[in-house]
Structure 1
Amino acid sequence: MIKKYILLFALAITALTSCDEWLTVEPKNMVSADKALDSDDGYTAALVGVYQLLEGVYNPSGFMMGSGVDVLANIYQEQTYTSNAYLSSCFNHDYENTNFDGASGTSYLQFYKAIANLNLLITSIDEKDVLRGDLRNMIEGEAKALRAFLHFDLWRVYGTVPGDPSGLSEEVLPYATEMTIDLIEKQNYTDYFNYILTDLEEAKELLAESDPIVKYSNDELNNEGSISEYGVELGWYNRQNRFNYYATLGVLARVQLWMGDYEGAYASAKEVIDATNPNGSNKFRLGVRTDLGYDNVFFAEQLFGIETVGYDDDPYNGAASQVVCYNDINLITQYFSRVEDIRLEMLTNITADPYETRVSSIKYDQMSETDLGTKSFPIIRLSEMYLILVESASSLSEAQTYYDAFVNTRNDQNVELTQDNVLNNVMLQYIREFWAEGQIFYAYKRVGVGTLPISGNEMSYDTYRVSLPSGEATSN
């Protein structure tokens, strides 16, 4: 049998310049593995370097959010090929187009850069034996959970569709677990997802024991230096911007739902929703109207987000910019039950020109360097856990309870759920809730939506499965 492989390049660990207070390096933004991973601070800086790499793809203008997979879901108006060839090819699922291939390839390479650095870090934990106790558990758990998360998102883009019979045996993607310059064998669905589950379960066990978010509130952890146990060592703080214990549960719930393990998905999501602080308050809470205006990304909901020092929001929201992410208001409002829904009323910008009235997202309009808003791109939120519970609950009455609790915070209309309409209402909520966050395409792909709701374009197993970048689809 001819085996397919992919080349994974070993790359040096990049550290954020803000890590200088943890680690002094030469040159300023680069540190060798030998030097970095000889100290506690080095491991902390190495992880931050991974998050810096990911900011390039998980941002509103990046491939994995607004201007890539969101356009694959056709939630924005189609652009002509002459006005924007890349977005046009996204909209039409023309994966062979060179513009699409280039953008996809850049994102793909960033993923494997990050994975390579995580593999070096994980391997070094055992080989160097520098870390001890809770710090070792936390860093190893965080790295393994993040590795699983990245591999799962790669599958959600490039992998097969659940229910596709060819997807069980075909070798699709490599699951990289070591730092190497050798060719890494691709895995089929079963083996690949076994790797994901193994990483997540090991991470869950390590983080349950040592992650500060388990025993302290996010308010405390977002106040750097406030906890005597951790002093001023920044690696212990800001856990909502790190792959923490509850983020691990969140992505585990995603994976289990993708695999059709509704019982497992329910248990993982419910543990997140039921999590409390030592004083009995909820660890996370659903965002409400009063949050908006200063926190349009509902930071209180974030199980995991990627922090940005200052994102220039103009290219995302400007209708005349390179990234044109808007749609005709008449196409969008039909997917909302109420005009007073806070996601329509307060999280969109409406502009009129002689030809149409356009609606675009303003979730990220408070993230430029001078803004006071929360500067964190949402990757996993509490609202998704509620929708997973609705979809995976064993009874309609329980599904209704979680559905009502969620939609009431959005000022949305209550709907009586039935066996026939549960999934349709969940999909409608994905449209309303995750506009500009990159999650809508994944939801459509997971359930195999045959006709994209907003555009009416027909989808198939082939169109849901994005082609591997041309430079990466190598074979032996």
Structure 2
Amino acid sequence: MTSSKYIIAGLLGVVLCTTSCKKWLTVQPKTQMPADALFTTESGFQDALTGVYIQMKAASAYGQHMTFGTIERLTSSWDVTSNTTEQRLGLFNYSDEGVQFALANIYGQEYKIISSINAILAEVDAKKDVFLSPGSYEMMKGECLALRAYCHLDLLRLFGPVPGNIPGGTVLPYVKKISKDPNQHISYEQYQAELLNDLTEAAALLKDVDPFTKYSQADLSNPGSSSSPFRPDNTYSAWRFLRMNYYAVKALQARAYLWFQDNASAYACAKEVIDAKNPDGNAKFRLGVLSDMSGGNLNLSMEHMFGLYDFQLAVKYETHFLSGNLKKGSAVTTVNNQLYGNTGTDIRETNLWSLITLGSGSKCHIMKKYMAATESAVIAPFQIPMLRVSEMYLIAAETAPAGEGQQYWDAFRTARNISIVPLPSDPVQLQRDLVKEYRKEFFAEGQAFFAYKRINAPKASFLWAPSAATINYVVPLPLSEFVQ
């Protein structure tokens, strides 16, 4: 795995100070700059970090294949045509060349993102004096460490072993520096320690300086305006909900601890996010409700601790969903009955899907979560969910001390407008019931496969598994691990 001394950098940090939010969010990377020139100013570091977020929005990462693309094919989320790569992904046919190529693309892109992050981390301490804005050094380093952990966790969840069934030997490289030499694979325990250490350090760096801990999402969306008390010297610190902020780090810790079967730590981190308050005393991240979805906020942006802004989302929706390319069933009953249990009230069941007629005259059922108006001046419709507070409620329901999980389960189900039922006392049944909610909640967000894998769910509880499939959660590493 190698990396050039040249890294792609957007012009985001430069444009921030002089243009509107919408203009800032739609700037494309236009240049390549040598690292020795890029890392001489605070804005240069900001440009480099912007480049990381742009890489994360690539189709081979969270702009498609780690959200609604390849990763959802592993759980048969979309209808397939016979004898295609998409069908073979749902059959867990890892020996197929097309399947190998699709998974290798994800592997390569994740490590490319990590390489760009490491390019920043290699310079940030030595160039600490170029950070002139209060807290900017801590936010830069903290964000990078947490983003590195985010990507490494997804690599482990996809290509690593099933939790609770850890073999000896090595798993994957945890890459912390740029090198021309191949990165060594390390043990599962070492990988876990490196990942959690990155998150611990990131949380410590961000806790006292992240504006998100002191201001609301609305405040951060209107820096310097008469309606906002947030008046930063450098508006790069605005819109923190679109970046890896302090609460996103805590949410990622909760996700990671749950994966590593440390329930007490997972609960503590999830609870901190759930309990977070704005200066007015209201919840910093509230669960979305019926009025939000019926009002058009289909991705429930108020729940996002971290969402990637993708101004091309409307085009992607037309290309992949409205075209019928990504569909599930030719009648509403496929999703309503099998996925949601035909409640008639579940806000996801009643708002997120639409039965459309294609140009050919055939009907298909499509998801509207990523529908965004191209002329919209509002950020929310263009956010790709990366970490949501609903996941924290589900983690808390599973990991809270005896008797306390029910309150989180009740709050979650009430927000989704479905009946309140007791949590099972049997831990295995509890996990399986919760995984059913993960399947509903994070459809087209890339989390279902990981939810199934974490509990090693049997085929009987694996919704839409093809009859010919043999469930295999252990995705083999790409035949070639070389990343340019």
Residue 465, structure 1, aligned to residue 474, structure 2 = yes
- CA shift for structure 1 position 89: 2.2
Query: Quick check: 2:12–2:50 contact (8 Å CA) kept in 1?
Result: no
Unaligned runs of 5+ in 2: 19-26
C-alpha separation in 1, matches of 2:376 and 2:98:
33
- CA shift for structure 1 position 355: 11
Aligned identity (percent) is 32
Return the TM-score normalized by structure 2.
0.88
118 and 61 in structure 1: CA distance in 2 versus 1, 3 angstrom threshold: closer
Query: Quick check: 1:65–1:436 contact (8 Å CA) kept in 2?
Result: yes
1:406 to 404, 412, 415: 412
SS at structure 2 position matched to 1:221: helix
C-alpha separation in 2, matches of 1:113 and 1:10:
11
- CA shift for structure 1 position 359: 2.7
54 and 244 in structure 1: CA distance in 2 versus 1, 3 angstrom threshold: same
C-alpha separation in 1, matches of 2:209 and 2:62:
32
1:317 to 303, 316, 321: 321
19 and 473 in structure 1: CA distance in 2 versus 1, 3 angstrom threshold: closer
- Would you say how many aligned residue pairs link Structure 1 and Structure 2? 458
Query: Quick check: 2:223–2:230 contact (8 Å CA) kept in 1?
Result: no
Identify the residue that residue 382 of structure 1 maps to in structure 2: 389
Moved more, 255-264 or 368-377: 368-377
Residue 335, structure 1, aligned to residue 335, structure 2 = no
Query: Quick check: 1:57–1:65 contact (8 Å CA) kept in 2?
Result: no
Matches within 5 A, 1:159-308: 159-166=160-167, 169-226=168-225, 230-231=231-232, 233-292=234-293, 293-308=295-310
C-alpha separation in 1, matches of 2:230 and 2:17:
21
- CA shift for structure 1 position 455: 2.3
198 and 314 in structure 1: CA distance in 2 versus 1, 3 angstrom threshold: same
Moved more, 446-455 or 94-103: 94-103
310 and 247 in structure 1: CA distance in 2 versus 1, 3 angstrom threshold: same
Residue 46, structure 1, aligned to residue 40, structure 2 = no
380 and 459 in structure 1: CA distance in 2 versus 1, 3 angstrom threshold: farther
Unaligned runs of 5+ in 1: 1-6
Amino acid at match of 2:345: E
C-alpha separation in 1, matches of 2:463 and 2:79:
13
212 and 93 in structure 1: CA distance in 2 versus 1, 3 angstrom threshold: same
Return the TM-score normalized by structure 1.
0.89
Residue 425, structure 1, aligned to residue 433, structure 2 = yes
C-alpha separation in 2, matches of 1:29 and 1:13:
9
C-alpha separation in 1, matches of 2:239 and 2:106:
26
C-alpha separation in 1, matches of 2:221 and 2:16:
18
C-alpha separation in 2, matches of 1:111 and 1:369:
31
Amino acid at match of 1:408: T
C-alpha separation in 2, matches of 1:405 and 1:46:
40
Identify the residue that residue 155 of structure 1 maps to in structure 2: 156
SS at structure 2 position matched to 1:127: coil
Query: Quick check: 2:149–2:195 contact (8 Å CA) kept in 1?
Result: yes
Query: Quick check: 1:66–1:325 contact (8 Å CA) kept in 2?
Result: no
Query: Quick check: 1:367–1:374 contact (8 Å CA) kept in 2?
Result: yes
231 and 60 in structure 1: CA distance in 2 versus 1, 3 angstrom threshold: closer
Identify the residue that residue 347 of structure 1 maps to in structure 2: 352
- CA shift for structure 1 position 228: 7.0
2:3 to 6, 9, 28: 9
Query: Quick check: 2:60–2:66 contact (8 Å CA) kept in 1?
Result: yes
C-alpha separation in 1, matches of 2:231 and 2:169:
47
Identify the residue that residue 453 of structure 1 maps to in structure 2: 463
- CA shift for structure 1 position 75: 2.5
Amino acid at match of 2:449: F
What is the Cα-based RMSD across aligned positions, in Å?
2.7
C-alpha separation in 2, matches of 1:128 and 1:87:
46
C-alpha separation in 2, matches of 1:367 and 1:469:
38
Moved more, 102-111 or 301-310: 102-111
Identify the residue that residue 66 of structure 1 maps to in structure 2: 68
SS at structure 2 position matched to 1:210: coil
Query: Quick check: 1:10–1:116 contact (8 Å CA) kept in 2?
Result: no
C-alpha separation in 2, matches of 1:115 and 1:189:
19
C-alpha separation in 1, matches of 2:387 and 2:66:
13
